[in-house]
Amino acid sequence: MRPLIAAVDLSALRHNHALAKRCAPGRQAFAVVKANAYGHGVREVVASLRGEADGFAVASLEEAAEVRALDDQARVLLLEGCFEPAEYPLAAQLGLDLVVQGPEQAEALLASAPCRPLNVWLKLDSGMHRLGFSPERVRHWHARLRGAAQVAELNLISHFACADQRGHSLNEVQLESFLELLDLEFDQRSLANSAAVLALPAAHMDWIRPGIMLYGASPFADLDARELGLKPVMTLSAQLIAVRDIEKGESVGYGATWEADRPSRIGTVSCGYADGYPRHAPSGTPVLVNGRRVPLVGRVSMDMLAVDLSDLPEARVGDSVELWGAGLSVDELAAACGTLGYELLTRVTARVPRRYLA
Ligand SMILES: *Cc1c(COP(=O)(O)O)cnc(C)c1O
């Protein structure tokens, strides 16, 4: 068997979920499990939070159907709403909560005949300018949807563009825009993603929507997950599959981009970009071999990457390698590669077996 696995620590997941709930006492939480639970495996994540999570949030009807099959009690929110008219009756059958983010969706909902009324979350575009209605149009649609036969609860939702940058002026602007609509009668309100759960209590409202924090990564560039009390959930582990000595001046990998400036010991690791490791990780990116940091060298290949073991002469074929996880935070690796923990976690490919620790 190829020595590469993504170990998923479900007790860490539950710890992080409990921490999110403690940040917003008395509020309910949609655990965000879109994109296969940020790459961790939606079945196991939902099963692990079943009974604890008040609800789950997903990006499509297909994802929602999978969650509903695992949990027939929790609320399941479609974050972008329905993509075509045929989805409204299906959403009702599944008992979903539905975002309505534009006039096409609102009209399609009113033209549909669902088997039961749906909980509708009117989306306010409070400043991100991606989805949602202007404040005036929220008022308009509030009037039209309130009391409509297709609508059970009528709720308000919006999303921050810069909550990861604490103190960014847009956060205040967006919060104000949300608060100004609360003279309207809404059954439930929701605004906070992970960053706002952790840093913006005024945005907690009735339902928080933690995503990345559940998986033990930080939503902030300047605060790491450990400082926030979060525990890493996924550890991507490989092995050394070859070790060789090269001379000063010899190169490693495709394009011969890295050249040894001293006699060097090179280790080859069973993980590459086809597993989701970032191909653009530069030489020097940290990798853990037997728990010790060594630098990546040369280009990342499809199935392998290379590290410089010169300062770890005892390293042998078969030794354990951690690409990220419990010993090396996914956020640190992401920063070294110019990306985010979100991207690295969601990009772990299907060929990497997930192993679950209860
Ligand atoms: C993905 C998503 C979230 C979760 O965001 P995190 O930054 O991962 O906490 C919350 N709300 C909406 C609308 C989303 O699309």
Q: What is the pLDDT along the chain (358 residues), one digit of tens a residue?
A: 999 999 999 999 999 999 999 999 999 999 999 999 999 999 999 999 999 999 999 999 999 999 999 999 999 999 999 999 999 999 999 999 999 999 999 999 999 999 999 999 999 999 999 999 999 999 999 999 999 999 999 999 999 999 999 999 999 999 999 999 999 999 999 999 999 999 999 999 999 999 999 999 999 999 999 999 999 999 999 999 999 999 999 999 999 999 999 999 999 999 999 999 999 999 999 999 999 999 999 999 999 999 999 999 999 999 999 999 999 999 999 999 999 999 999 999 999 999 999 9
**The pLDDT of residue 333:** 98
**The pLDDT of residue 180:** 98
For residue 54, report the distance from its CA to the centre of ligand 1, in Å: 16
**Closest ligand 1 atom to the C-alpha of 163?**
7
**Closest ligand 1 atom to the C-alpha of 159?**
13
Tokens found for residue 272: 């590459």
**The pLDDT of residue 304:** 98
130 is in an annotated binding site: yes
Nearest protein Cα to ligand 1, atom 6 = 211
Domains annotated on the chain, with CATH: 10-215 (3.20.20.10), 234-357 (2.40.37.10)
Q: Is 254 designated active site?
A: yes
pTM for this predicted structure? 0.97
**The pLDDT of residue 36:** 98
**The pLDDT of residue 1:** 95
For residue 185, report the distance from its CA to the centre of ligand 1, in Å: 25
Query: 163: Cβ below 6 Å to ligand 1?
Result: no
Which residues face 259 on adjacent strands? Answer: 251
**Closest ligand 1 atom to the C-alpha of 34?**
1
**The pLDDT of residue 354:** 98
Query: 132: Cβ below 6 Å to ligand 1?
Result: no
CA distance linking residue 257 with residue 56, whole number of Å:
45
For residue 311, report the distance from its CA to the centre of ligand 1, in Å: 41
**Any idea which residue has 């509030």 for tokens?**
142
Burial class, 50, CB count within 10 angstroms (exposed 0-12 / middle 13-18 / buried 19+): middle
Query: 267: Cβ below 6 Å to ligand 1?
Result: no
For residue 131, report the distance from its CA to the centre of ligand 1, in Å: 13
Query: 106: Cβ below 6 Å to ligand 1?
Result: no
Query: 123: Cβ below 6 Å to ligand 1?
Result: no
304 is in an annotated binding site: no
Q: Is 34 designated active site?
A: yes
Query: 286: Cβ below 6 Å to ligand 1?
Result: no
The residue from 123, 215, 254, 342 that is catalytic is 254
For residue 353, report the distance from its CA to the centre of ligand 1, in Å: 26
Task: Work out whether the CA dihedral 177, 152, 106, 93 comes out positive or negative.
Answer: positive
Reference 37, options 183, 159, 254, 212; nearest CA is: 212
Query: 209: Cβ below 6 Å to ligand 1?
Result: yes
- Are residues 166 and 220 in contact, defined by beta-carbon separation less than 8 angstroms? yes
Task: Work out whether the CA dihedral 200, 203, 207, 212 comes out positive or negative.
Answer: negative
The residue from 34, 38, 215, 273 that is catalytic is 34
Distance from CA of residue 339 to its chain's centroid?
13
**The pLDDT of residue 320:** 98
CA distances for 72 relative to 46, 244, 279, angstroms? 11, 55, 40
**The pLDDT of residue 115:** 96
